[in-house]
């Protein structure tokens, strides 16, 4: 093989290696943090294109099980990544990259000193929560209502969103109040709502910790590039960003 041809082959290989592309399935509640996360990732890996596919954890899992060509999955809980790993659809055991929490939110000023008991008041006619069948934050919201002995009193008021982003949309436009992911309140559109006047933390003792899990996927066509993003999310830079968006980090 001539030296010129060898150089040409090496240059072509370098082009492919330097222009990787990864597809990341991301639970909707993490969407608000993805832009700064990707920006920080690109500071380290400028040649890797990152495509984000948003959805509820349950629906994204179903797509992965049907062979969707995703490289990495950032779930809103551990249940779905653990199932994918046991079924052989993930090549890494689930790693906790963040822990989510709940907030009680309204676009109108409320007396949030009452906590979840506010939901029983007659002026509160519709309450947005995520669907427990498809969204882990819905499971947590339902658990909080039951542990607060409020579920029976308010179940007729509940309006279910298929993802946490849809639940936030309902809370803003279609209901009187919502039990949403605290991280949602750190988006540019929601940041104007002041804590204590428009929202308050839901007592974390009322629901199980929302460990959010991440796995590398078997159908990945870009294992090496995906692994760089996986390692980045577990690193110090990403943890600082996630904390700014209302998450606890391990």
Per residue in 196-217, pLDDT (tens digit) is 999 999 999 999 988 999 999 9
Could you tell me the pLDDT band of residue 4, with boundaries at 50, 70 and 90? very low
Residue 19, pLDDT score: 53
Residue 221, pLDDT score: 82
Top-confidence residue, 61 or 3: 61
Bridge pairing between strands 21-27 and 72-74 = parallel
pLDDT at residue 20 above 90?
no
Per residue in 85-144, pLDDT (tens digit) is 999 999 999 999 999 999 999 999 999 999 999 999 999 999 999 999 888 889 999 999
Contact 169, 138 (CB under 8 A): no
Residue 60, pLDDT score: 96
Domains, in order of start, for the chain: 3-99+210-244 (3.40.190.10), 102-201 (3.40.190.10)
Burial code of 187-213, b = ≥16 C-beta within 10 A, e = fewer?
Answer: beebeebeeeebbbebeeebbeebbbb
Per residue in 180-190, pLDDT (tens digit) is 999 999 888 89
CA distance 64 to 90: 9
Residue 103: CB atoms within 10 A of its CB come to 22
Residue 187, pLDDT score: 84
CA distance 191 to 133: 29
């Amino acid at each position: 093989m001539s030296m010129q041809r060898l150089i040409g082959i090496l240059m072509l290989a370098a082009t492919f290696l330097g222009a990787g592309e990864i597809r990341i399935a991301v639970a909707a509640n993490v969407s608000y943090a993805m832009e700064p996360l990707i920006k920080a990732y690109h500071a380290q890996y400028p040649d890797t294109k990152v495509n984000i596919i948003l959805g509820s954890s349950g629906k994204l899992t179903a797509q992965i099980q049907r062979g969707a060509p995703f490289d990495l999955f950032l779930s809103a809980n551990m249940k779905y990544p653990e199932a994918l790993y046991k079924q052989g659809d993930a090549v890494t055991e689930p790693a906790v990259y963040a822990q989510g929490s709940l907030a009680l939110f309204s676009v109108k000023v409320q007396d949030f000193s009452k906590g979840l008991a506010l939901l029983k008041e007659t002026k509160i006619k519709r309450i947005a929560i995520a669907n427990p069948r498809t969204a882990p934050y819905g499971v947590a919201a339902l658990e909080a209502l039951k542990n607060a002995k409020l579920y029976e009193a308010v179940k007729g008021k509940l309006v279910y969103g298929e993802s946490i982003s849809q639940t936030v949309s309902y809370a803003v436009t279609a209901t009187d109040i919502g039990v949403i992911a605290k991280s949602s309140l750190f988006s540019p559109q929601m940041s104007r709502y002041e804590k204590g006047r428009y929202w308050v933390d839901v007592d974390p003792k009322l629901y199980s910790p929302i460990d959010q899990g991440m796995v590398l996927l078997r159908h990945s066509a870009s294992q090496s590039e995906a692994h760089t993003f996986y390692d980045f999310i577990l690193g110090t830079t990403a943890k600082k960003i996630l904390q700014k968006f209302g998450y606890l980090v391990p």
